[in-house]
Structure 1
Amino acid sequence: MDGFGRVLFIGPFKKWGGRELESVQISLYLKSDKEFFLSTVSELKEFMMYGKKVHTINTELVKHEWRLKVVAIIRAVVKLDLDWFKYVKNQFAIKKMNYNDSHFNYLKATIRSMDYVICFSSVSSSEFLSISTICKMLNKKLIIRTTNTIGKIPEKNLNSITDNFLFIHHNYVNASRLLEQKKHNFKLIDQAAFQEDQLLVLGKKAKENFKFGFLGRLMPGKGILEIVNWFDELNLKNTELLIAGNGILKQDIISFSSNNNISYFGELRIEETAGFMSNIDCLIISSEYETGPLVGIEAMAAGKLILSTDVGCMKGRLENTLNNFWFQLNDSSSFKTNLKAIKKLSYSEYCIIASGNRKRYLEKYSQNIISKSYQKAIKVNFYQGIFNNNELCE
Structure 2
Amino acid sequence: MLTENIKKITIIGLIDNIGGREIEARNIIIALSKKFEIKVVSMFLMTEKSEAIKGLNCNWTNVYKEINRQYITIRFISYFLKHYHKRKTPSHFLVDNKISRRLFNLSILKNNILKKEIDKADAILYCGTLSLNALNQMIIYCNQTNTPIVLRTTGKIQNITEDFKKLIPKIDVTLVHSLKNGLSLMPFKPKKIIKIDQTSLQEQSLLNLKISATEKLVYGFLGRFSAEKGIIELMKNFNTLNELLIIAGSGPLHKEVNCLKTDNITILKVVSPENISDYFKKIDVLIIPSYEEAGPLVGVEAMAAGKIILSTKVGAMEDRLKDTKNNFWFDINDKQSLIDQINFLAKKTPEMIVEIRENVRSHYINNYSIRTISNNYIDIFKTLLD
Instruction: Tell me, yes or no, if structure 1 residue 102 matches structure 2 residue 109.
Output: yes
SS of the aligned residue for 2:239 comes to: helix
Separation in structure 2 between the aligned mates of residue 311 and residue 383 of structure 1, nearest angstrom: 34
Instruction: Tell me, yes or no, if structure 1 residue 249 matches structure 2 residue 253.
Output: yes
Alignment equivalent of 2:131, drawn from 110, 124, 145: 124
Separation in structure 2 between the aligned mates of residue 21 and residue 125 of structure 1, nearest angstrom: 21
Say if 2:289 and 2:332, in contact at 8 Å, map to a contact too.
yes
Give CA deviations for 1:94-150 in whole Å, capped at 9, x if unaligned: 342343333222211111101111101212222321322221222111111111111
Alignment equivalent of 1:16, drawn from 15, 18, 21: 18
Instruction: Tell me, yes or no, if structure 1 residue 290 matches structure 2 residue 293.
Output: yes
CA positional deviation for 1:352: 0.9
* Cross-structure match for 2:8: 6
**Aligned residues: percent identity?**
30
Letter matched to residue 191 of structure 1: Q
Separation in structure 1 between the aligned mates of residue 76 and residue 6 of structure 2, nearest angstrom: 40
Say if 1:44 and 1:86, in contact at 8 Å, map to a contact too.
no
Instruction: Tell me, yes or no, if structure 1 residue 319 matches structure 2 residue 325.
Output: no
* Cross-structure match for 2:30: 28
Separation in structure 2 between the aligned mates of residue 226 and residue 97 of structure 1, nearest angstrom: 45
Q: How is 1:240-389 mapped onto 2 (pairs within 5 angstroms)? A: 240-257=244-261, 259-380=262-383, 382-384=384-386
Separation in structure 1 between the aligned mates of residue 4 and residue 301 of structure 2, nearest angstrom: 30
Say if 1:136 and 1:162, in contact at 8 Å, map to a contact too.
no
Separation in structure 1 between the aligned mates of residue 4 and residue 206 of structure 2, nearest angstrom: 30
Say if 2:306 and 2:357, in contact at 8 Å, map to a contact too.
yes
Alignment equivalent of 2:68, drawn from 46, 62, 72: 62
Letter matched to residue 119 of structure 1: Y
CA positional deviation for 1:314: 0.8
Say if 1:45 and 1:58, in contact at 8 Å, map to a contact too.
no
Alignment equivalent of 1:135, drawn from 132, 136, 142: 142
CA positional deviation for 1:161: 3.6
The verdict on how the C-alpha distance between 1:127 and 1:343 changes in structure 2, with shifts beyond 3 A counting, is: farther
CA positional deviation for 1:45: 5.1
CA positional deviation for 1:9: 1.1
Instruction: Tell me, yes or no, if structure 1 residue 213 matches structure 2 residue 198.
Output: no
Separation in structure 1 between the aligned mates of residue 370 and residue 141 of structure 2, nearest angstrom: 32
Unaligned runs of 5+ in 1: 385-394
The verdict on how the C-alpha distance between 1:116 and 1:365 changes in structure 2, with shifts beyond 3 A counting, is: same
Say if 1:193 and 1:297, in contact at 8 Å, map to a contact too.
yes
CA positional deviation for 1:263: 1.1
* TM-score where L is the length of structure 2: 0.90
Say if 2:246 and 2:283, in contact at 8 Å, map to a contact too.
yes
Letter matched to residue 58 of structure 1: Y
Separation in structure 2 between the aligned mates of residue 114 and residue 93 of structure 1, nearest angstrom: 29
Alignment equivalent of 1:190, drawn from 185, 197, 208: 197
Separation in structure 1 between the aligned mates of residue 221 and residue 95 of structure 2, nearest angstrom: 37
Separation in structure 1 between the aligned mates of residue 214 and residue 190 of structure 2, nearest angstrom: 52
Separation in structure 2 between the aligned mates of residue 10 and residue 208 of structure 1, nearest angstrom: 48
The verdict on how the C-alpha distance between 1:90 and 1:129 changes in structure 2, with shifts beyond 3 A counting, is: farther
The verdict on how the C-alpha distance between 1:195 and 1:374 changes in structure 2, with shifts beyond 3 A counting, is: same
Letter matched to residue 184 of structure 1: K
The verdict on how the C-alpha distance between 1:139 and 1:274 changes in structure 2, with shifts beyond 3 A counting, is: same
* TM-score where L is the length of structure 1: 0.88
CA positional deviation for 1:218: 0.5
Separation in structure 2 between the aligned mates of residue 188 and residue 317 of structure 1, nearest angstrom: 12
Instruction: Tell me, yes or no, if structure 1 residue 224 matches structure 2 residue 224.
Output: no
SS of the aligned residue for 1:221 comes to: helix
| RMSD, aligned CA | 2.4
Tell me the number of residue pairs that the alignment of Structure 1 and Structure 2 aligns: 378
SS of the aligned residue for 1:16 comes to: coil
The verdict on how the C-alpha distance between 1:193 and 1:99 changes in structure 2, with shifts beyond 3 A counting, is: closer
SS of the aligned residue for 1:49 comes to: coil
Give CA deviations for 1:17-64 in whole Å, capped at 9, x if unaligned: 2211112112222224421111101x5555443424542111121123
